[in-house]
Amino acid sequence: MKRTACIFLFALFLLPSFILTAEETESQDELKKIIAHNLAEIEDSYIQLLDFDQRRRAITLVDEIMKIIENSYALSPVSPYNILGDEAFLILKAQVEDTISANKKTEYILVVGGKGFITTDQLLILLKSYTFDSDIINCIKAVYPYLLDKVNSPVLISAVSSEIKKGKLAEWLAIQ
């Protein structure tokens, strides 16, 4: 049984290097082939040395690893965008709230939004730290090209308090 544990610890140490290979190849199918090949190599080289019960358990574990790998790729859709995570958003929010200048706030948001990371809901939360409607509108106009979900952009109108400015912002969003 110690041999079986050693083999699978060895396999677990190999899997992270294959995950890095996935970033390099950017192909899930290729990654699956690499992992399947290496698991088959482990099976051929090491599992054959085990006694019958240990071999049966080891083969079962190899099969389970392959199922986990296949299911993890089937369940997680690949997105071309990295949406700002909760922790990173909280850091950005704290940074924006601690800044007095509206231009600096917009700059901070653009640093993140310029990479395609920000959603409409996140921007709406950040806009609450602005004082003046004109600053809010300027921020929305600056960040708009970098929003992931532009379809939801009419929600941003609620951040503005002036009815006249809400109408102008709605017109501007309709043109975009």
Per-residue model confidence as pLDDT tens digits over 20-35: 444 444 556 676 777 7
pLDDT at 61: 79
pTM value is 0.55
- pLDDT of residue 75 exceeding 50: no
Binned at pLDDT 50, 70 and 90, residue 81 comes out as: low
| Encoded amino acid at 104, one letter | K
More confident of the two residues 3 and 83: 83
Contacts of 43 (CB under 8 A, 6+ apart): 58, 59, 62
Name the region of 146 (left: φ>0; alpha: ψ -120 to 50; beta: rest): alpha
Nearest by Cα to 112 from 130, 136, 137, 94: 94
Q: State the first-to-last Cα distance of the chain, in angstroms, to the nearest integer.
A: 65
Mean pLDDT across 141-165:
90
Cβ neighbours of 112 (radius 10 Å): 21
pLDDT at 156: 92
Mean pLDDT across 67-80:
57
Q: Percent of the chain having pLDDT more than 70?
A: 73
CA–CA dist 83, 115 (Å, integer): 9
CA–CA dist 34, 19 (Å, integer): 10
Mean pLDDT across 77-98:
76
Cβ(135)–Cβ(168) below 8 Å = no
pLDDT at 168: 93
